[in-house]
Amino acid sequence: MDDQRLAKQLAKTGNLMDLTYQNDWWDADNWDGPIEAGVMAKPYAAYLESLTPEQHQFLHRRMRLFSILLPELERWLQSWDLGCSFKAVYTEARRRIYTHLQEPTPEQTDWITALIAEDDQHLPMEKQVLRAQAIPMLSALLTQDDRQTLADIAAQGMAQGVLKMAQVDTIPPVAV
């Protein structure tokens, strides 16, 4: 880490993280090994060593799948106008989707493989045919029970929001 450069960046924008938007900052990072720090990281490092190549491959593939599906899920749920319930509904929905895809059917497996391959091509969004199927796919994965649960969570969030506002309204008005 070039401290002179960091100091210049601080003077310029006050935020060191702006360096990540400069390509040459990334060029300087060519470390090809572990980065773990802290005594508490020891069990995690040992865990990583214990994984088989197949398990690593499985984790990588699942991460790739969900790094495509989760932004689509978020985009879809944003169209539901959930207001203050959004985060709770999104959190539950992603759990449900995760569960349903733990053991994908052969058809789903083929689709997932093709979806990741399409993502690897870095096509413009409008040319990603399989990604465009992601929301219908997510919709098909959610069961009636899932939908009811999400609706209940949304309703609870709304109710809590209303009750909170009502509580604010009980404060006596300030005399003017």
- Name the site residues for other proteins (rule: CB under 8 A): 1-4, 6-7, 10, 15-17, 19-21, 26, 29-45, 47-48, 51, 55-56, 58-60, 62-64, 66-68, 70-71, 73-74, 91, 94-95, 98, 102, 120, 122
Give 95 or 127: the residue with its C-beta nearer to other proteins: 95
Give 59 or 170: the residue with its C-beta nearer to other proteins: 59
**Long-range contacts, stretch 85-94, CB < 8 angstroms, 24+ apart:** 85/153, 85/154, 85/155, 85/156, 85/157, 85/158, 85/161, 88/153, 88/154, 88/156, 88/157, 89/150, 89/153, 89/154, 89/157, 92/149, 92/150, 92/153, 93/142, 93/146, 93/150, 94/70
Give 37 or 163: the residue with its C-beta nearer to other proteins: 37
In angstroms, the Cα distances linking 101 to 49, 94, 145 are 26, 11, 16
Give 71 or 136: the residue with its C-beta nearer to other proteins: 71
CB of 8 to other proteins, least distance (A): 9
CB of 24 to other proteins, least distance (A): 12
Give 81 or 120: the residue with its C-beta nearer to other proteins: 120
In angstroms, the Cα distances linking 12 to 6, 19, 69, 115 are 10, 11, 37, 42
CB of 129 to other proteins, least distance (A): 19
